[in-house]
Structure 1
Amino acid sequence: MSADEVRLELHQFRLSHYNEKVRWALDVKGVPHKRISHLPGPHMAAIRKLTGTSETPVVRIGGVVVAGSADIIDMLEGHYPEPPLYPADPGQRRAALGLQARFDADVGPAVRRALFAELVKEPSYLCRIFASGESWVTRTGYRAMMPVVTRVMARTMETQDPAAVAAARHATHAALDRLASLAEPGTYLVGDSFSVADLTAASLLAPACNPAHPDMELPSPRPARIEDWLARWAEHPGAKWVHGIYTRHRPRRVLPLQAAAE
């Protein structure tokens, strides 16, 4: 399939657990798509032009634009129903969507704040993550912008507020505890098959668990601060559940065409 034949575009950040939710759904359903990777900070003008806000992920297909991981997955489920991510049983479907909503609202922001509290102290590594695949000129220019970018991140994510960061770490640990209480290794959060609940929980906790998948694994070599972050959760039963879900259900094939934002 040529680039001209790929109609669906995913506008994303490379390191983002909400974007990972959508990448995973697209890959599970085998939907050919083109990933447009934006640099945090410079992304604002392009994304606001699409949606009126500055948040990713955003999907555009033809003249239709859908923003937000939950709404995008809902759209995909309607247009590409196989394999299903929503349970057929109405009660299980409500439970799965309820878990998605709670993880989206509470767990995702906490994990992001806790991780970026570490990453903003490592601007070279952060630049390496976000500008991977960009030209040398773009990487160099973005590296020069990192003091401004990290200040904005620190302010918007409250990563310089010790109480907020401590609460985010506690919420991350609590989410892993909840996974460990809801599902044994090799089992699922709702019913007896993989669903949007499992996809959401594993995606949003991936930054703490560092699954061995090219879309979410933090690149090596990693700064000692980041190794310490990962070691904090490595042996938790909830983290082992996340790794198991990635191993069994996250496709490793590269379906999309890659592109940098213009």
Structure 2
Amino acid sequence: MSDGSERLELHQFPYSHYNEKVRWALDFKGVPHRRISYLPGPHMTAMRKLAGASATPVLRIGGVVVAGSAEIIDVLEGQYPEPPLYPADAAQRRAALDLQAFFDEEVAPAVRRALFAELLLEPAYLCRLFASEKPLLTRLAYRAMQPLIRPAMRQMMKIDSAHLGTARHTIRAALDRVAAQAGPGGYLIGEHFSIADLAAAALLAPACGPSHPDMELPAPRPARVEAWFAEWADHPGTLWVRSIYAKHRPRRVLPLRVAAD
């Protein structure tokens, strides 16, 4: 581990599955880091100033800023190679990175779209998810902004009847795939845990409810959120996600979370 590891800052949303990929990689590699959490919507100005784009996650490593979960993990793999997330075998490495790309591009947006279709109908709970670390006045202001924020989020995520059916089909197909593809040891590529398993499990986590503090939505949960988890609970792919979390997701290297200004 380099002497500059304490300077790592992860700019993130709590509970976000793209951000969870990076949290998992940092914790798996034992890299100390500082987490700075933002409110969805108001975060865009800060992210554009920091990284030139509005999306999270963004990782600052000293004076270098890296945006995007796959790009961040690639940098971490180069600077903190142990324990590895990329298979040593070249063919397996290509297959693992291709699988990460598939889940990043096809599955993760579907999971987000379908889950937020439920969460946007529960504005108080939505505020609790993303604003619980903020001061009271910030929480109240964010709650008051919901009538403006929710329509923008629906448009950005394409949350409408034309896309929601496809999103649920994509989630179920992805759960089918991990259940069928996992080998005798439980891994998607080869015989060891890799970026393929991390990406698939992290990006499916919002549908599968793994028991981990970074992704376990707080209780009590609204009835529609409970119904969301119940929809996928008995699928073999959900059991695979939970098993990968249980085997390979550290609880946390640094518990510190810092609220953004």
| TM-score bucket of the superposed structures, by smaller chain | over 0.9
Equivalent residue runs for 1:1-262 within 5 Å: 6-159=6-159, 161-183=160-182, 187-262=186-261
Q: CA deviation at 1:6?
A: 2.5
Q: CA deviation at 1:5?
A: 8.0
Q: CA deviation at 1:15?
A: 2.1
| Separation (CA, whole Å) in 2 of partners of 1:36 and 1:66 | 15
| Separation (CA, whole Å) in 2 of partners of 1:10 and 1:254 | 13
> Cα deviation per residue 1:28-51 (whole Å; 9 max; x = unaligned)?
001110001010011011000011
2:32, 2:253 within 8 Å by CA — same for their partners in 1? no
1:179, 1:241 within 8 Å by CA — same for their partners in 2? yes
Letter in 1 for 2:72: I
Partner secondary structure for residue 257 of structure 2 = strand
Partner secondary structure for residue 85 of structure 2 = coil
Q: Structure 2, unaligned stretches of length 5 or more? A: none
Letter in 1 for 2:239: K
2:185, 2:191 within 8 Å by CA — same for their partners in 1? no
Q: CA deviation at 1:256?
A: 4.6
Partner secondary structure for residue 21 of structure 2 = helix
| Separation (CA, whole Å) in 2 of partners of 1:107 and 1:185 | 24
| Separation (CA, whole Å) in 2 of partners of 1:132 and 1:186 | 39
| Separation (CA, whole Å) in 1 of partners of 2:104 and 2:244 | 18
Shift in CA distance, 193/148, structure 1 to aligned 2, threshold 3 Å: same
| Separation (CA, whole Å) in 2 of partners of 1:72 and 1:252 | 20
Any runs of at least 4 consecutive aligned residues in structure 1 with deviations exceeding 2 A, and if so which? Answer: none
2:13, 2:56 within 8 Å by CA — same for their partners in 1? yes
Shift in CA distance, 202/93, structure 1 to aligned 2, threshold 3 Å: same
Q: CA deviation at 1:186?
A: 5.1
Aligned residues: 258
1:185, 1:241 within 8 Å by CA — same for their partners in 2? no
Q: Structure 1, unaligned stretches of length 5 or more? A: none
Shift in CA distance, 223/119, structure 1 to aligned 2, threshold 3 Å: same
Identity %: 68
| Separation (CA, whole Å) in 2 of partners of 1:182 and 1:5 | 36
Partner secondary structure for residue 6 of structure 1 = helix
> Cα deviation per residue 1:140-196 (whole Å; 9 max; x = unaligned)?
11111112111111111111x112011101100110011111015851000111000
Shift in CA distance, 39/185, structure 1 to aligned 2, threshold 3 Å: farther
Over aligned residues, Cα RMSD in angstroms? 1.3
Q: CA deviation at 1:63?
A: 1.3
> Cα deviation per residue 1:201-228 (whole Å; 9 max; x = unaligned)?
0000000001110000111111111111
1:43, 1:54 within 8 Å by CA — same for their partners in 2? yes
Partner secondary structure for residue 193 of structure 1 = coil
